[in-house]
Amino acid sequence: MKKWASTARRSLPSLNFLLLLIVAWEAASRIAGTPLYRLPPPSTIWQALIAGAPLLLIHTRATLSAAGAGLSLAVIVALTLAVIMDRWAWLNRALYPLLIISQTVPIIALAPLLLILFGLGLTSKIAVVTLVCFFPLAVNLMDGLAQVDPEAVDLLRVMQASPAMIFRSVQLPSILPYFFSGLKIAVTYSVMGAVIGEWLGARAGLGVFMIRSMRSFKTDSLFAAILVVVIVSLVLFKLTELAAWAAMPWNRVKLNNQQEE
């Protein structure tokens, strides 16, 4: 209870500022008489959200399908590549600069190529999400593997432990904090990546809903879709924090001791 109360107190200033911003937005829109297709007030956006909830739910499911599949693939590829690069230093030196260079290419430029390769189906969206989420996961995992205690690894090797045993006993507990740090970034990127893929071409998804709303000058529905994206991203972020809390019980003890101090 103390933890929740402390979290609520820390969040109170942000919530107050957000509430003030919404009230100011509503008042400014009403007083200025801004056309709804330009900048609708929050009350109109809320009404559009409620009215379009069934349709938004269908599109949200499509976006989450692409985001979840792409994120899962990114985790598998990033973990595999990080372990391989950590095992062979020459491969790390060869591939790490290429990973950095790959991030200089805007995903919005690669997405059309992926659509040409994979079409308008789910595969192209999964590819976009994977590319967006892969880098923060891979970099954090490689940083985590670099921090593993080499003496503990050498000890297990002397005891003739298998690579799988070494990874499970020493490396995995060490990289979990780094993994979840990268996952918190990647999980929010996954929704963004799915929406980007849908913007460029799809049959369903929040990106498709946004394009249709924009072309119909339904700005309130467009803002409602943006609000859904924000909510979904926050929920996924909090679920990732919960997963990290469950997977690393030793961190709970450490955090509790810090709070008591």
- Neighbouring CB atoms inside 10 A of 70's CB total 27
Q: How far is CA 149 from CA 90, 158, 172, 251, in A?
A: 20, 15, 12, 18
DSSP assignment string, 3-15 = HHHHHHHHHHHHH
Using the predicted structure, report yes or no on whether residue 260 has a pLDDT greater than 50.
Answer: no
The residue type at 184:
K
Closest CA to 41 of 227, 33, 16: 33
Domains, the chain = 47-247 (1.10.3720.10)
Q: What is the pLDDT of residues 44-86, one digit of tens each?
A: 889 888 988 899 999 999 899 999 999 999 999 988 888 888 7
Q: What is the pLDDT of residues 119-145, one digit of tens each?
A: 777 888 888 889 888 888 888 888 888
Going by pLDDT thresholds of 50, 70 and 90, the confidence category of residue 8 is low
Q: What is the pLDDT of residues 206-221, one digit of tens each?
A: 888 988 888 888 888 8
Query: Are the C-beta atoms of 96 and 36 separated by less than 8 Å?
Result: no
Q: What is the pTM of this model?
A: 0.81
Q: Rounded to whole angstroms, how far apart are CA atoms 80 and 98? A: 16
Q: What are phi and psi of 40, to 5 degrees?
A: -75, 150
